[in-house]
Amino acid sequence: MPAAAHILEARGLRKSFGANEVLKSIDLSLAPGELVFLIGPSGSGKSTLLRCCNRLEEPDAGSIQVDGEDLLSPRTDLNRLRQRVGMVFQQFNLYPHLRVISNVTLALRKVRGLPRAEAERIALGALERVGLAHKARAYPGELSGGQQQRVAIARALALEPKIMLFDEPTSALDPELVSEVLQVMRDLKKSGVTMLVVSHEMRFARDAADRIVFMEHGRIALQGTPAEILAAPPGSRARDFMTDALH
C-alpha cells in the first residue's frame, strides 16, 4: 500500500452536545511530519476536534482517515488504530499505581502482547527520547509535573504512533516546567513526528508550527503559517488572538 498523502484527514466533521453544535463541518488534513497548532477562544471546539481524532469523542457526521484507514467505520478495529494515534492530556493522566516503566509498557504488553523484556526495551527507548530513562523505577507521584508530562509523551511514543495529539499539554504546568515539555515537542518535530496540538503557547506556535489553524464557533476561521496569520490585517480575529497572547 502506498503511503497516504495525509496522515490525518478529517472531512465534514460535525459534533453536537445536546443543542450545542460544537463542530460545524470541519475539514482538516495533516501531512507527514507536519506540526499543526489548533488555537482559538475557549468553547471554539478545538479540544473536541482533537478528541474526535481518536474517537474519545464520537463525531456525529463526517469522516476521519488515519494513515489511509477509516477511523469511523464500524469494521475498523478501534483499539488497533488508536495505537497509531498517540494522545497527550492536559492532566498527564499517568497511572498512579504503576511505576514509570509500567506506565509505558502497559499497552505494549496487554494490547500488543509483547513479552516483558521486549516491552521494557522499547519503553526505555521511549523514555530515553524524553530524557527520563533514569526515572523508570519511580512512581508518577514522585515526579514533577513536567517530568510526568514527558513520561506521558513517552507512553504514547512507545506505540510508534503515526500522529501525536496534544491537548493543552502545558496548561497544568508551573511556568518554569513548561519549557522542558516544549523542548521534547521540538525534538519530536525534528525527528519527523506528525503532531496536532491544542495549546495557548503562542511563542512556541510562532517558532515551531508549520501551520496554525484558528477556530471560532465550531468552524475553522483561518489557517496558514504563523507568518501568514501574523501578517493578517489588524482587526482579524485570528491575528489579534495570536498577538494578544504573544504580549
Residues of this chain that interact with another protein (CB under 8 A) are 54, 56, 79-80, 82-83, 85-87, 89, 91, 93-97, 106-107, 110-111, 139-143, 145, 148, 152, 155-156, 159
Rounded to a whole number of angstroms, the minimum distance from the CB of residue 93 to another protein is 4
Identify the residue whose cell numbers are 504514547. 156
Whichever of 73 and 91 has its CB closer to another protein, that residue is 91
Rounded to a whole number of angstroms, the minimum distance from the CB of residue 54 to another protein is 6
Residue ranges of alpha helices (H) inside the chain are: 46-52, 78-82, 100-110, 116-129, 145-157, 175-190, 202-208, 226-230, 237-246
Q: φ, ψ for residue 195 (rounded to 5)?
A: -135, 140
Whichever of 64 and 220 has its CB closer to another protein, that residue is 64
Whichever of 27 and 142 has its CB closer to another protein, that residue is 142
- Pick from 145, 71, 155, 64: nearest CA to 107: 155
Whichever of 39 and 87 has its CB closer to another protein, that residue is 87
Rounded to a whole number of angstroms, the minimum distance from the CB of residue 82 to another protein is 5
Rounded to a whole number of angstroms, the minimum distance from the CB of residue 64 to another protein is 15
Beta strands across the sheet bearing 8-17: 20-30, 8-17, 61-66, 69-70
Rounded to a whole number of angstroms, the minimum distance from the CB of residue 38 to another protein is 17
Whichever of 54 and 194 has its CB closer to another protein, that residue is 54
CA quadruple 209, 122, 76, 18: dihedral sign: negative
Whichever of 76 and 243 has its CB closer to another protein, that residue is 76
d(CA 44, CA 216): 5
- Pick from 93, 179, 190, 205: nearest CA to 140: 93
Rounded to a whole number of angstroms, the minimum distance from the CB of residue 193 to another protein is 16
CA triplet 138, 143, 146: central angle to 5 degrees? 135
Beta strands across the sheet bearing 35-39: 85-88, 163-167, 194-198, 35-39, 211-216, 219-224
Rounded to a whole number of angstroms, the minimum distance from the CB of residue 151 to another protein is 11
Whichever of 138 and 245 has its CB closer to another protein, that residue is 138
Helix, coil or strand: residue 94: coil
